[in-house]
Amino acid sequence: MKTSVGASRTAVGLLLAGLFLAAVAIPSCAGPPAQEAPEPSVIEAELRQFEDAHRAAIDAKDVDRVLEFYAEDLITVSPETGIVRGREWIRTTCEELFRDYEFHEDFELADIRILGNRVVASFEYTQEMTPLAGGDPVVVTGKGVGVFKRSETGAWQWEWNSYAPDAPASARESADTAKAPG
């Protein structure tokens, strides 16, 4: 019996789809029953506590406590660093900041979306760094998107952190002037 190439490809495609379902979907059905997801308001309240506790760890200059807010397999993306895997860079950065500056950081999560066992949220942040050796404070503001997961203890942690600082006011003013008509 002769079959066309198109029919053979369709049969192979259906076979592969069936194998995929057998390998992925069916075993997941046999697993433990799904736990009921917490109400969004509960998760949002937990994330507000996360913000407050993170701020307190920064203000206390407690590097080990700060690290607890970040997954060991953290992925960070920023214009300054590109893609960084892991959280050790946070230890180094905090040690340097706490040694050289009175450092304060504040952020607020917004647009919170619950995606299965993960949470995605946008955020805006402000960092204020006053040199301990004297000098004017430096203030950096910016925006980002984070993905959060629960740690083994049930606490929320940053899993992905993608952020960018806002352009300095002088750069924004220059850009606005350049865009101004005539």
pLDDT digits (tens, 9 = 90+) for 15-66: 333 333 333 333 334 444 445 667 889 999 999 999 999 999 999 999 999 9
pLDDT digits (tens, 9 = 90+) for 66-116: 999 999 999 999 998 899 999 999 999 999 999 999 999 999 999 999 998
pTM across the whole model: 0.72
- What CA dihedral angle connects 80, 82, 86 and 87, to 10 degrees? 10
Task: Tell me the C-alpha distance between 118 and 147, whole Å.
Answer: 7
Look up residue 39 and give its two tokens.
Answer: 């109400």
Task: Tell me the C-alpha distance between 139 and 30, whole Å.
Answer: 53
Task: Tell me the C-alpha distance between 70 and 161, whole Å.
Answer: 9
Domain spans, the chain: 40-171
User: Is 40-171 assigned to CATH 3.20.20.30?
Assistant: no
pLDDT at 11: 37
Task: Tell me the C-alpha distance between 103 and 68, whole Å.
Answer: 18
pLDDT at 8 over 50: no
